Structure 1
Amino acid sequence: MKLMEVLKVVVVVAMVMMMAVEAIWLELPNSETKCVYEDIRNNVVVLGEYIVIHADEEHVQANFIPTISVRVTSPFGNSLHHEENATYGRFAFTTSEHGNYLACFRMNSHVPGNKNAAISLQWKIGIDARDWDSIARKEKIEGVELELMKLKGLAQAVHENLLYLKKREEEMRGVSERTNGAVAWFSMMSLSICIMAAAVQIWYLKRYFRKKTLI
């Protein structure tokens, strides 16, 4: 199977899996930080929504909800979202660089009994971040037409991902070729230096022995 065919299968499967996932659940212990990250290319829309769930039935009856601090950062460490003492929140941004985007959660309030709190995180990327209801109202479409528009958007996303993967492959091939060239040049230089050093040693030894009238 050709490389592009394999990439197509991988991208399609990844997109289907991404659409099937609705939320990420995190168990957050007291005074600990947990982070999730996603490798995202640049110029991609990202939407996130998080909510703290009651720790257990006792806290539900007492109407106690722990608060958390949330920070979302870019691959270069730039803060994209920061919230303190939150029980619910949203964030949205368009990526400006490729890499791992990190979302970290830390418990602020102490949960009695040192019990964990649960956090539900929805992380939508690219086509999943589109508000299809608003698009349907704006375009005045519904039913089959709306589903066809979704499929068209999915096809465009897959096509863009394929182009991106092809570009990354070309970049990696270029890096590999430059690295191989540098290694070959370094090897030739090392071999030349060794030959020159050996020649100098032979010349010096001959000169030394002749001076001592040994040869």
Structure 2
Amino acid sequence: MDLLPSRYKIHKTKLRWILTMMTMMMMMVMRRGESMRLDMESGNTKCISDDIKTNYMTVGTYSIVNPNEGHHLPPSHKLFVTVSSPKGKSHHHAENVESGKFVFTAEETGDYMTCFVAPGYRPTAKFAVDFEWKSGVEAKDWTTIAKRGQITMLEVEVRKLLDVTETIHEEMFQLIEREREMQELNRSTNSRMAALSLLSFVVTMSVAGLQLRHLKSFLERKKLL
């Protein structure tokens, strides 16, 4: 009768250790979400950029901090919010809002820009905005996925690791492609430098030859040769 509880404890210990190791691995390689608080003032604009890869999902939530809990926000506490791609495509636009959320999948790689504009107001008002921006694996709602698929948290952690592995795999290919592009650029630069050096040498020797010819002619006219 004592063996069953003992084995059960060992099983729980191993499971806890596995989850701990998986969590540490994910913390090291998984892209973390950015949570911040922005100090805004009427008439001012603040923009935040994030480098997002193609086909990465991104989720952002924002809300004005209520200085008086239990009361409505004053009319001065409003925001204009825009989210745009590196090429200027709009992915989110909101006017005179107190909070909001945007979700989209990146169609191109580059810096995506989120801008918060506090409209002009008199007298000038100051307020804070809580903003959280997640991309990649972190952007997925794993709790909803677990409930929908009726799977355990261990399976959720495994799926996270699989997604992280795929992300690392894609980034490795991108790094290899960038390295190939850099090598081609280096070869092209070296070829151009070699051609420029050769051209400089030819020009220098030509000028030296002309100078010698001119000096010889001068000395002959002066009957010094």
| TM-score normalised according to structure 1 size | 0.77
Distance 1:41 1:14 in 2: 19
Superposition deviation, residue 111 in structure 1: 7.3
Offset at 1:194?
Answer: 1.3
Distance in structure 2 (CA, Å) of the matches to 1:150 and 1:133? 12
In structure 1, what is the Cα distance between the partners aligned to 2:97 and 2:200? Answer: 61
- 1:203 is displaced (CA, Å) by 1.9
CA separation in 1, counterparts of 2:42 and 2:152?
A: 47
Separation (CA, whole Å) in 2 of partners of 1:208 and 1:94: 77
Unaligned runs of 5+ in 1: 1-10
Deviation at 1:34, TM superposition (A): 0.9
| SS class of match (2:43) | coil
The count of residues paired between Structure 1 and Structure 2 equals 200
Following the alignment from structure 1 to structure 2, what is the Cα–Cα distance between the partners of residues 162 and 127?
16
- Distance, in Å, in 2 between the alignment partners of 1:78 and 1:198 is 58
Cα deviation for residue 84 of structure 1 reads 1.8
- SS state at 2:83 partner: strand
Q: Secondary structure at the match of 1:81?
A: strand
Cα distance, 1:109 vs structure 2: 5.4
- State the AA in 2 paired with 1:28: M
Q: Give me the CA root mean square deviation.
A: 2.8
Deviations 1:146-186 (A, max 9, x none): 22112221222222223322322332233233223322322
Contact 1:45–1:94 (CA<8 Å) still a contact in 2? yes
**What's 2:38 paired with?**
26
Once the two structures are TM-superposed, the CA of residue 26 in structure 1 deviates from its matched residue by 0.9
Preserved CA contact (<8 Å) 1:12 1:158: no
Asked if 1:53 corresponds to 2:65, the answer is yes
Residue 153 of structure 1 is matched in structure 2 by 163
User: Within 5 A, what are the aligned runs for 1:91-106?
Assistant: 91-106=102-117
Counterpart mapping for 1:8-27 below 5 A: 15-16=29-30, 18-19=31-32, 21=33, 23-27=35-39
Tell me: CA distance 1:73–1:133, structure 2 relative to 1, closer, same or farther (3 Å): same
Deviation at residue 125 of structure 1 after TM alignment? 0.8
**TM-superposed deviation, 1:60:** 6.0
- 1:78 match: 89
Could you say which structure has the larger radius of gyration? 2
**Is 1:68 the counterpart of 2:79 in the alignment?**
yes
Q: Distance in 1 between matches of 2:79 and 2:99?
A: 9
Matched residues in 2 for 1:41 and 1:73: separation? 14
Deviation for aligned residue 1:87: 1.6
Distance, in Å, in 2 between the alignment partners of 1:179 and 1:13 is 40
Match of 1:143 in 2: 153
1:45 to 1:104, Cα distance in 2 relative to 1, 3 A: same
**What is residue 4 of structure 1 aligned with on the other side?**
none
Q: Deviations over 1:14-36 (max 9, x none)?
A: 645x43x4622111122111111
CA, structure 1 residues 45+118, in 2 after alignment: closer, same or farther (shift >3 Å)?
same
Is 1:37 the counterpart of 2:53? The answer is no
Separation in structure 2 between the aligned mates of residue 13 and residue 197 of structure 1, nearest angstrom: 65
**Structure 2 contact 61–102 (Cα < 8 Å) conserved:** yes
TM-score w.r.t. length of structure 2: 0.74
Identity of aligned residues (%): 31
